[in-house]
Amino acid sequence: MKKLVFTFLVAACLIGAANAQKLNLGKAASAASNSVSAFTFTNEDAIKLSKEAVNWMDEHNEVAGSDDSYTQRLERLFGKHQSQDGLALNYKVYLVSDINAFACADGSVRVFSSLMDIMTDDELLSIIGHEIGHVKNEDTKDAMKNAYMKAAAIDAAGSASKTVQALSDSQLGELANAMLDASHSRKQESEADEYAYGFMKQHGYNVVAAYTAFKKLALLSSGDTNVSGFEKMLSSHPDSEKRAEEVKAKAEKDGLWQDPGTVELPQTRLTE
């Protein structure tokens, strides 16, 4: 089984469709910027660059077709949320072995098939709700700004134009890599968790699924050698156990808690 094509590190890992490949992020040189404080970067810039980076990834990775079971499942779950909270969203599935999902400033949501293999419908709803929260809260703007600085090898403090420049194909690959590898602050993650819980509650979904999703992520990142059939995940969302308990506390307060019992990773994929 192949993985998403990439240059450096991308968060996550394994089990998917027979023809899955690892996400392709191409080959490009990286250069970290010394400062971004002097660089003018707008929401419009973030949206434009996000669309370019996602288009690049769509072209360089296997996207599930309209008749694929992964696409049909995602459409069933998220088709009704294409205009969520004032955001215009578009969804696709990457047939890759990485376990991940992301949403970008332009409203692009990409779910990896291997994540769908281990998460129930409500768990997927909670995870993508979290990613949408990052977009709604504009966390993606700063992440994209930093990704652009790396891809374009620009030092904002010394940049002559102080404006976004066009990127080459190799730079777009580097931009995609930096975008996926971006981390959010603890406060941003907490706010996205709050958004996901509210999203679940607002639409009448089972909020306990946010708890079980975090428990599964904790299993993937624990290094437990008994987790067979799954490559261990390098989680971009740390403290999954703690975050699961925070969901439980909210659900108990709202009278929505129902003990799910022991949470385990499935031994067979959940998308058919």
Residues catalogued as catalytic: 131
**Which residues, other chains included, contact 142 with Cβ-Cβ below 8 Å and sequence gap of 6+?**
none
**Which residues, other chains included, contact 222 with Cβ-Cβ below 8 Å and sequence gap of 6+?**
none
Residue tagged 């660059």 (tokens): 49
User: Which one-letter amino acid corresponds to residue 45?
Assistant: D
User: Which one-letter amino acid corresponds to residue 170?
Assistant: S
Beta bridge partners of 22: 4
Phi, psi angles (nearest 5°) of residue 16: -170, -155
Residue tagged 């072995």 (tokens): 97
Q: Using CB atoms within 10 Å of the CB of residue 194, give its burial: 0 to 12 exposed, 13 to 18 middle, 19+ buried.
A: middle
Residue pair 139/109 in contact (Cβ under 8 Å)? The answer is: no
CA angle 178, 179, 182 (to 5 degrees): 80
Structural Rg of the chain based on CA atoms: 18
